[in-house]
Copies of this chain bind each other. A is one copy, B any other.
Amino acid sequence: MDVLIGLLGCGTVGSGVIDLLAKRADRIEELTGLRPQITRILVRDVHKPRDVNVPPSQLTTQATDILEDPNISVVIETIGGIEPARSFVLAALRAGKHVITANKDMIAEYGEEILAAAEKAQVDILFEAAVGGAIPLIRPLKESLTANVITELNGILNGTTNYILSKMTSTGAEFADVLQEAQDLGYAERDPSSDIDGLDAARKLAILATIAFQTTVSLDDIQITGIRSITAADVRYANELGAVIKLLATGCDEGGDVRLQVGPALVEKSHPLARVDDAFNALFIHGDAAGDLMFFGRGAGSLPTASAIVGDVIEVLRNIRLSVSGRLGAMRMVAKTVNVREPAPTRHFLRLEVSDKPGVFAQIAAIFADANISMESVVQRRLHEQAAEIAIMTHAISPGVLKNATLILRDLPDVRFVHSVLPVVQGGNH
Chain A residues close to B by CB (< 8 Å)? 16, 20, 24, 27-28, 30-31, 128, 134-136, 139-140, 143-148, 270, 272, 274-278, 280, 287-298, 301, 303-304, 306-311, 313-315, 318, 322, 324, 327-328, 330, 332, 429-430
Contacts and interface: CB of A to CB of B under 8 A. Distances in A.
Nearest to A288: B303
Nearest to A147: B310
A43 B145 CA distance: 28
A6 to B, nearest CB: 19
Nearest to A427: B275
A146 B309 CA distance: 11
A286 to B, nearest CB: 10
A343 B318 CA distance: 37
Contacts of A304: 289-291
Contact of A24 (B147, B306, B311): B147
Given A287-B134, A297-B290, A322 B327 contact: yes
A289 B307 contact: yes
Contacts of A293: 134-136, 295-298
Nearest to A128: B144
A291 B296 contact: no
B148 A144 contact: no
Nearest to A318: B328
28 contacts: A24-B147, A27-B146, A31-B330, A134-B287, A134-B290, A136-B140, A136-B143, A136-B144, A136-B293, A140-B140, A140-B144, A144-B311, A145-B307, A145-B311, A146-B314, A147-B306, A148-B307, A270-B275, A274-B275, A277-B430, A280-B430, A287-B307, A289-B310, A290-B304, A290-B307, A291-B303, A292-B297, A322-B327
Contact of A297 (B136, B291, B330, B429): B291
- Kindly list the 8 A-B residue pairs having the minimum CB-CB distance in the complex, ordered from nearest: A147-B310, A136-B144, A134-B290, A289-B307, A293-B297, A294-B296, A290-B307, A136-B140
A244 B313 CA distance: 40
Given A128-B144, A332-B27, A289 B275 contact: no
Residue among A139, A288, A289 with most chain B CB within 10 A: A289
Nearest to A313: B147
Nearest to A321: B327
Residue among A31, A144, A276 with most chain B CB within 10 A: A144
A144 B308 contact: yes
Given A290-B297, A324-B322, A139 B143 contact: yes
A90 to B, nearest CB: 26
B295 A291 contact: no
A304 to B, nearest CB: 5
Residue among A20, A146, A276, A309 with most chain B CB within 10 A: A146
Contact of A147 (B20, B140, B275): B20
A131 to B, nearest CB: 13
A144 B136 CA distance: 6
A192 to B, nearest CB: 22
Residue among A270, A287, A332 with most chain B CB within 10 A: A287
A381 B147 CA distance: 54
B291 A301 contact: yes
Contact of A144 (B139, B303, B322): B139
Contacts of A146: 27-28, 31, 311, 314
A143 B20 contact: no
Contacts of A318: 328
A297 B298 contact: no
Given A146-B311, A272-B272, 8 more contacts: A20-B147, A134-B291, A143-B314, A145-B307, A145-B311, A287-B307, A291-B298, A318-B328
